Structure 1
Amino acid sequence: VNAHYQRLAALLRDGRSYGEISNSLSRDHPAQRGLSAENIRRYFTENGLNPMAHRMGRTQLRQHVASAVSQVGPTYGRRMMTGYLRASGVPATERGVRDVLRQVSAPNHVDRRQSMRNRNSIPYSASYPGHKLHMDQNEKLAMFGATHVIAVDGFSSCVTSHTTMPIKNNCLIYEEVYRPTIQTHGMWDTVRVDHGREFYLTLFMQGKNEHLRLNRQRSAYIQTPSRSNLRVERLWPEVNN
């Protein structure tokens, strides 16, 4: 750590935490040992470096945050605001900015929390084979009498069944896509399709046999917009090409 004294002092003046200083040094020197947050804290103590001496008071930080909010608007959260303040030469920490934003811009803080899930959406996940079955149709060649229908396992991206028909048909989709999939691989916990009516028979049979599923706590089927059915939608460019 002694070799990085100047770097540590500069980071300390910027108001960085022990963890942030440790991460910064570890990224620049991945092969060097002894750069943990605890070693950084011990080094500061032994050399009389006090992190709190470089951090501004809550009143001063509140003034900087209030000024920044008036300049950039109310949409910045703690990370964006901390980065903005540091770029302006203000040694602020995320924790301090978070606490001040709750007071300086309380209504906007509430709005950000309520819309957090929309901005930070949950990544797609399938826990095991048989968890989610995605089904979709492709009508790019419908004018030529070819409509493709496909079923894909969400966990493995395995195409479990597919067929081509002149026009989309409830009975053909059930007989040639859904039923062969179930007979070969067993019941899926959830079938996910779009809002088209061509899957009504499939969804009816999935709901009728929901007692045969492994996890009955999950919804037997889900209808979402096509743009949300990404696991199967990503296969269509390969089919179209």
Structure 2
Amino acid sequence: MYGLHVKDIAALYGVSRWTVHRRMQQCGLKVSELYSGIDNTELDRLVMEIQREHPQCGYRMMRAFLQASGHLIQFFRVRESLHRVDPEGTQLRALANRTLHRRQYSVPGPNCMWHIDGNHKLIRWRFVIHGGIDGFSRLVVYLNAATNNNATTVLDAFLGAVSQYGLPSRVRSDKGGENIEVAQFMVQNRGENRNSHITGRSVHNQRIERLWRDVYTQVLDLFHTLFYHLEMTGLLNPDDEIHIFALHWTFSLQLQHQLDTFKEAWNFHRLRTENGRSPYQLWLQNRDAADDLGTVDEDYGVDWDGPPAMEDANSISIPDVQLPRSLTAEEIAGLPNRDVPLNATVNVYNSTVEQLTEILRY
């Protein structure tokens, strides 16, 4: 159950550890049997596949990516595999981690404060990532790729998370216009004059700024590098509407898949500052325990010692793709299949550009 120990499961359901042990025995369950039985060769192959898409992955995130893909592996085996597969990178990450300084952040419990924001690292190609994180547990509640920065798109992503995790007591965001519908929703559903939605500069929203650094390292950097490579080789012109349409057609699903995989892995990964508990575990164990604050000021949920914001842009507008004419349903259905492995996407992109050029210009 999300990697919880027996004593934690017992506390969650209000029973004794012996009750949990007895039920496990009755069902023929053993903790040791929950771990994957794959050998080191297969484990190294899986680790190498994950490393190709997430080259900065450390022990905890690697174990989380493996767990998200259905393989629960002992920590020592993951560590040994990374040493075999990437000894140099493992050593460099260990040196870098020694310089990190963990900062304090405090809200009463899960769903007391969500932090939401947009990431614009792929804005050159008209992609934006909308994200939200629970301040207490660091559970990523949504991480969505979009080709617009509209308030309705942000609200849809937010409501999807609410349906899964419940409505937060408060939300913190920057002052961008894309957050206006979330702000209205929070005031309507949580009330006025209690700071149901708190706005400020991105430098005051560090909980999600911390997340963006890992999202960029583990996901966005791959696409950032690939898109620039397409430009350098003359295959992509960001000012050409056909090229951008083809890019969105080809890579939207790939980008969302990578974000979904990262989100699942992040929520499984164990936090050193929380005695090895994962965001999922922190959220589950504390969701009914916290007493929310009735009144807070605008500094609530600020991590004053957090990292500087990666960007502090308000109300970024992304223009819609303007093809010479709208495509018919039949033409869209005839576009190249985009449900392919990542290493086949460039061919799909090129084929889409060629097909659109033929349809629209001749």
With structure 1 as the length reference, what TM-score do the two structures score? 0.45
With structure 2 as the length reference, what TM-score do the two structures score? 0.30
Q: 1 or 2, which has the higher strand percentage?
A: 1
